[in-house]
Amino acid sequence: MRSTVIVTALGPDGRGLLARIAATIAEQKANIDDVSQTVSNGMFTMIMFVSFDESETSMAGLKDALAKTGDEVGLQVHVQHENIFRFMHRV
């Protein structure tokens, strides 16, 4: 079964942040379906739609790997299931 999660990141801007997060996602055998990032006043913000096959990757494993990467690069990284994100941000 295929799952989609929303990955958000926030923190001070620096070189290679998107690349590090993308590499972690690839290492977890997940796919970036869409990404948006902004740098404003020295703060990096990013949102990604990431999908993966549950037989290859678990949401918990992806969360743990991204949290570790976030700690290494100084970002707060959060992972939410797509349904929760959409419910929380509906108009």
b/e 20-50 (16+ beta carbons within 10 angstroms → b): bbbebbeebebeeeeeeeeeeeeebebebbb
**pLDDT for the residue numbered 1:** 85
Q: Which sequence spans correspond to the domains of the chain?
A: 2-88
**pLDDT for the residue numbered 21:** 98
Which CATH class, in words, describes the domain spanning 2-88? alpha beta
Residues 26, 55: Cα–Cα separation, whole Å: 15
The string of DSSP letters for the chain reads: -EEEEEEEEEEE--TTHHHHHHHHHHHTTEEEEEEEEEEETTEEEEEEEEEEETTT--HHHHHHHHHHHHHHHT-EEEEEEHHHHHHHT--
Give me the mean pLDDT over the 81-87 stretch: 66
The larger pLDDT score, comparing residue 87 to residue 63, is at 63
**Please, what is the angle between helix 17-27 and helix 59-73, to 10°?**
150
- Kindly tell me if the per-residue pLDDT of 7 is higher than 80: yes
- Kindly tell me if the per-residue pLDDT of 86 is higher than 90: no
- Kindly tell me if the per-residue pLDDT of 49 is higher than 80: yes
**pLDDT for the residue numbered 91:** 57
